Chains A and B, each alone.
Chain A
Amino acid sequence: MIARRPVAPLILWAILAVLGAGGCSASAVLDVGYPSATATTPSMRARAQARRVVIQPVADQRMDRTRIGPALKNGQAMVSRRPLTDIVREALAVELTKAGYSVVAERGDVEVTPEIEEFWIDVVNGYKTTLYVGRVAIALAVVDGVSGNPVQIRRYVATSRREVDGASPSAARDALEVALARVLHDLATDPAIPVTLGPPSDRPTF
């Protein structure tokens, strides 16, 4: 992604017809993480600044919690260097903070419980290339911090592909990190999140 300058609110036209229609890694341990930025827009901060959010311990609901990818030819399991629960918690805290929420340890206005439903890298060996397909699925259960009533459950799933010559642990890691970033970007731009994490008066009644 290349982003060169902020774009003020504007009238945007989408033009569709212009440009033309166009292995196995040597190491079994992947150093997966979440690259973060710090800037936020004033409007997002203003909307969220009064809300305190508690992030409950991340629940690991994966079917196989012992690894993040298929067994390698040497029999090693593909695993993450750091616990996935820590990676996801930190990533979520980064995004909530960027959006202007105060992430607190207790007595929050709302409590969120993230669940890792999938965090997996598939490896498809081709003739000369290796395709890595990262897939991350995370659910976010939101509970009112005062009443304890459930507010909403949001689910986010993203995949990412990387095709490289030969085998590449860094490509596998990149595929997973991009999938995780996509999940967090979807969450950060989800119009339901400000409502869900906002005061009860903002929430729709059914």
Chain B
Amino acid sequence: MIVENSTEPGRTLDEIVKWTPYFWLRYLVPLVHEGINQLVALDDRAVAGRDLDRVSPRSVVGETLARQLQASGQFGVVQALPREPIGEDRRRADAFMRVSVSRWGLMRVREGDPPLVSAFTDVNAQMVMRDTGVVVWEIHEVVTHPDRLPLKTFTSQPELARTMLLEVLERAGHRLGSELLYARRSGS
């Protein structure tokens, strides 16, 4: 997805509606604003994201998280799985870490000419004890890639968009790992 955070055309439509007798139209302006921006972004989204069909965001986040937790030495075995374990796999686990990616894409993060965009993702994670089902830790993290470039750069180089998006997913996995390790260290 591409999040533009643009003021237009909403503000212009607001001004127009204000001077018409059809004042009730103002309730439709946010919908029109959103619709137009999504239509405008369609081409960019198709071009920038054309190499992303085979990317599983959850897998990238989860595998990075698993690697970081394993490398910390604070866990016996950390294994990333694509689904809920069953049978012996389930019985052997002390806890499950459930990861989801609620959205990911490109977002405008700086105004200017041209405005700059970054890869971003919003992720959730929770740790659940197997024997009790108690959630002992959970977190929602919004993660943004530190690099900022004009949108045109991403659309003209889809492979760059792919790289940045994969990197921000890896950063999200790392972010979750850091926060979990920090919470454990703090004894909370």
Residues of chain A whose beta carbon lies under 8 Å from any beta carbon of chain B: 1-7, 9-22, 37, 39-41, 44, 70, 98-99, 122-129, 131, 133, 135, 137, 157, 159-161, 163, 182, 185-186, 188-189, 191
Residues in chain B near residue A188, CB distance under 8 A: 182, 185
Interface pair A13/B110, CB less than 8 Å apart:
no
Interface pair A18/B84, CB less than 8 Å apart:
yes
Check: B151 CB closer than 8 A to any chain A CB.
Answer: no
Check: B5 CB closer than 8 A to any chain A CB.
Answer: yes
Interface pair A14/B81, CB less than 8 Å apart:
yes
A17-B83, A20-B100 are contacts. A126–B188 as well, Cβ < 8 Å?
A: no
Residues in chain A near residue B101, CB distance under 8 A: 21-22
Interface pair A22/B146, CB less than 8 Å apart:
no
Interface pair B95/A161, CB less than 8 Å apart:
no
CA gap between A189 and B186 in the complex, in Å: 11
Interface pair A13/B95, CB less than 8 Å apart:
yes
Residues of chain B whose beta carbon lies under 8 Å from any beta carbon of chain A: 5-8, 10-11, 30, 33, 57-59, 61-62, 65-66, 69, 71-85, 89, 92-103, 107-111, 115, 118, 120, 124, 127, 134-139, 142-146, 175, 177-179, 181-188
Interface pair B139/A161, CB less than 8 Å apart:
no
Residues in chain B near residue A6, CB distance under 8 A: 184, 187-188
Q: From residue A117, how far is it (CB to closest CB) to chain B in Å?
A: 11
Interface pair A128/B10, CB less than 8 Å apart:
yes
Interface pair B111/A124, CB less than 8 Å apart:
yes
Residues in chain A near residue B82, CB distance under 8 A: 16-17
* Interchain CB contact (< 8 A) of A21 among B57, B120, B183, B186: B57
CA gap between A2 and B127 in the complex, in Å: 10
Interface pair B81/A126, CB less than 8 Å apart:
no
Q: From residue B177, how far is it (CB to closest CB) to chain A in Å?
A: 8
Interface pair A11/B75, CB less than 8 Å apart:
yes
Interface pair A191/B71, CB less than 8 Å apart:
yes
* Interchain CB contact (< 8 A) of B146 among A40, A135, A161: A135
Q: What are 7 sample pairs from A and B whose C-beta atoms fall under 8 A apart? A: A10-B76, A11-B77, A13-B89, A15-B96, A21-B101, A39-B188, A122-B109
Q: From residue A68, how far is it (CB to closest CB) to chain B in Å?
A: 14
Interface pair A3/B188, CB less than 8 Å apart:
yes
CA gap between A137 and B84 in the complex, in Å: 38
Interface pair B76/A11, CB less than 8 Å apart:
yes
Residues in chain A near residue B69, CB distance under 8 A: 12, 14
